[in-house]
Structure 1
Amino acid sequence: MKKFAKSVISTAVLAGVAATAFVPVQAADKTLLKTPIAFGSHLPALGTPIVWVSEQLNLVSDGTIRMKIYEPGKLVAPPEILDAVSSGKVNSGYATAGYWQGKMPAAGFFSAVPFGPEAGEYMAWMYYGNGLKLYQEMYDTNGYNVKVIPCAIISPETSGWFNKEINTPEDLKGLNMRFFGLGASVMEKMGVSTSQLPGGEIFGALEKGAIDATEFSQPAIDKLLGFQKIMKYNYFPGWHQQATIFELLVNKDAWGKMSAGQQATVENTCKASMTNSIAEGEAMQFPVMADAKANGVEIRYWNDTMLKAFEEKWGEVVVEKSAEDPFFKKVWDDLNTFRTGYNLWESNAFLPRSR
């Protein structure tokens, strides 16, 4: 895993945005996107990007596109967003594809990949490899009536809050832990019982002892949820989520009624949000980490034994899921081929990672 060169992203993405995103929409019917969201709008880099998108859509479209945001559970519960958009109950929704893994095993590839690409490489595969094509294909072949648009991305998350040191795989066995996405399958192979609690329920579950440990997001977000009040050890790196993509889902019938200019405005505003969201997330983590010790938190970096164990178990997950689901294998093979090629660039162009 090479250190991600943050400044490269803004140049690449904004170049595309500048070319098309700010073309005024003319002679088009007004569109209101009613958008339930999976993350509270108060959560930086998780909920704030879609607020930014809603503001920009109104400005860029000269008022022909508006977005009304509904906080989690106010109109649609987060786990129900995909079905609600597909059925037309609402015409759009904001979530992350990892939520739909129970319906589509490959969904995690379009959310976060264990030992996977950092943000620059992830977007390269998404926009200039086959990522976006496969992303839409996943929804189409499973009968979902949605248009999917990547609409935010954040860089690495922390990979666990614990109340004891974890030095060997045996230290994990028997724990009950909140864990997300494909990484949860890895943790289960490590002997951990996992559940995917929504962010707002994690603190209470820790406090009551319903779970022993958790991961959720980046340090600045975890701090808002109060994990440091209960948990002592915060482990890095985020091997399970080196980058996480968030999606805007639009009902296909509603999408088809929008003009080509309106569609381009939505797509390119979301592409601009990819830049904005990662910049926001990158800027706010180190001050929180600097205060960790004062808050009674010890920052730990996984030792080589643990990282090797996680990676070995991830390899087992890939083999098993590829055998069970042909589309999972199709996406994995494509992503793996892209990453093998990309490694020639990454291994030569970036400075070695140092700690």
Structure 2
Amino acid sequence: MLKDFADNVKQLTNGSVQLEILPAGAVVGVKETLEAVDKGLIEGGFAWTHYWSGYHPAAMLFGSPVAGAGVGIDNIAFISWFMYGGGKELYDQLWKEMKMNIKGIMLQPVGPEALGWFKKPIKSMADFRKYRFRTPPGLPGQTYKDIGIAAVAMGGGDILPALEKGVIDAAEWCCPKPDSVFGFQKVLKHYYLQGLHQVVVNADLYINGNVWKKLTADEKNAIKVAADASLIRSLSYRIYENGKALKDLTENWDVQLHDTPEDYFVEYMDAAKKLLNKNAKKNKFFAKVWQSQKDFARIAVPYWAGAQTANANLGQAYAQSIMKK
């Protein structure tokens, strides 16, 4: 999808702006990407927004707002807030709050992410608490700890070896397509799609501020147009790709798909709200961004949740008819 964005930028600028896509670690490590762009060591970088929560806690609200920011914002509603609810302006301010010489470009929404993979089925939170569970770092992982899960944060390359050695018993990564490429189905067979830890996950492009200033107005506009296109193309692409992957997992790998226990949602949401409130009290900009999301949610979520309920019921009716056949 990043190469797709780069191709669009090249075409829209008649080749005056070209992005050379290098693999992670080719110049600097993933964790050093933001500082390398800020210092001009590289002209641009690509990563997941919530990676920078250590620089500023509000990065999480743009990259991975835990439990839908505690106000029911899903990945599509997030884009609505970002584009029309004041999110984009606050996002531009984020880099100033970090004191980074960077122009951020939001590109790729992902999600909702799956709850994860387990050795045995879980019927309640009591069952869940029996397992050592790989979680993402930051607030999503801390929320699991707060509800009594033995949460273990680790890098992607360490997950499968840890599962095979019994260091952890369950894990989350992303969604059916990335999970299947990762190879979870070779180790675990019980899969839960519905989770709250990363209902929304976003990746973005970072351009050095001096490089951005040198671009013409038309070139900047072309990048913005390509970025807006990338948001919807990324959503559309992932729905179909994840669908194909889930079909393969259940039909060819004996993966069993389960519904997440109901008590999970109540416990996780309550703990997430407490963590969000705690961070809002500590940081003014965090509070400002979260208030913007809450203001948006009061208007948009009642409508969108109601509409999505109808969509979900429609989809479930069709999915169940397929399963019966």
**Do the two structures share a fold, i.e. TM-score over 0.5?**
yes
TM-score, length basis structure 1: 0.81
Q: Is the contact between residue 167 and residue 306 of structure 1 (CA under 8 Å) also seen in structure 2?
A: no
Shift of 1:114: 3.0
1:292 Cα offset (Å): 2.8
Report the CA distance shift for 1:98/1:193 in structure 2 as closer, same or farther (over 3 A): farther
> Would you say the 8 A contact 1:190–1:313 is kept in 2?
yes
Q: 1:348 to 1:165 in 2, by over 3 A?
A: closer
The yes-or-no answer on 1:208 pairing with 2:165 is yes
* Structure 2: distance between partners of 1:136 and 1:220: 31
**Is the partner of 1:151 in helix, strand or coil?**
strand
Give the conservation status (yes or no) of the 8 Å contact 2:122–2:261: no
* 1:158 paired to 2:158: no
Asked if 1:143 corresponds to 2:99, the answer is yes
Q: Identity across aligned pairs (percent)?
A: 26
* TM-score, with structure 2 as normaliser: 0.88
Q: How far apart are 1:91 and its partner, in Å? A: 1.1
* Correspondence for 2:238: 281
SS at match of 2:202: strand
Partner of 1:19: none
- Count of aligned pairs between the two proteins: 307
**Distance in 2 separating the partners of 1:174 and 1:261:** 56
CA distance in 2 between counterparts of 1:191 and 1:347 reads 29
Please state if 1:98 is matched with 2:50. Answer: yes
Aligned to 2:207, the other structure's residue is in SS state strand
The 1-side partners of 2:28 and 2:154 are apart by 16
In structure 2, the residue corresponding to 1:292 is in which secondary structure?
helix
- Rounded Cα–Cα distance in structure 1 between residues aligned with 2:196 and 2:4: 28
Greater Cα shift, 290-299 or 225-234: 290-299
**Please, what is the CA RMSD of the aligned residues?**
1.9
Instruction: Report the 3-state secondary structure (helix = DSSP H, G, I; strand = E; otherwise coil) of the residue aligned with 1:68.
Output: coil
Residues of 1 paired with 2:181 and 2:191: CA distance?
A: 15
Return the letter of the residue paired with 1:229: K
**1:327-346 alignment runs, 5 A limit:** 327-346=285-304
3-state SS in 1 of match to 2:54: coil
Match of 2:82 in 1: 126
Asked if 1:76 corresponds to 2:28, the answer is: yes
- For 2:178 and 2:219, locate their aligned partners in 1 and report how far apart those are by CA, in whole Å: 33
Please state whether the residue corresponding to 1:291 is helix, strand or coil.
Answer: helix
Mapping 1:13-24, distance limit 5 Å:
none
Amino acid at match of 1:249: Y
Counterparts of 1:28-67 in structure 2, within 5 Å, are 49-67=1-19
Contact 1:155 1:282 in 2 (8 A): no
The answer for the alignment partner of 2:323 in structure 1 is none
> 2:320 maps to which residue?
none
Which of the residues 63, 86, 105 maps onto 1:111?
63
Q: Which runs of 4+ in 1 moved over 4 A?
A: 347-351
State the alpha-carbon separation in 1 of the partners of residues 107 and 80 from structure 2: 15
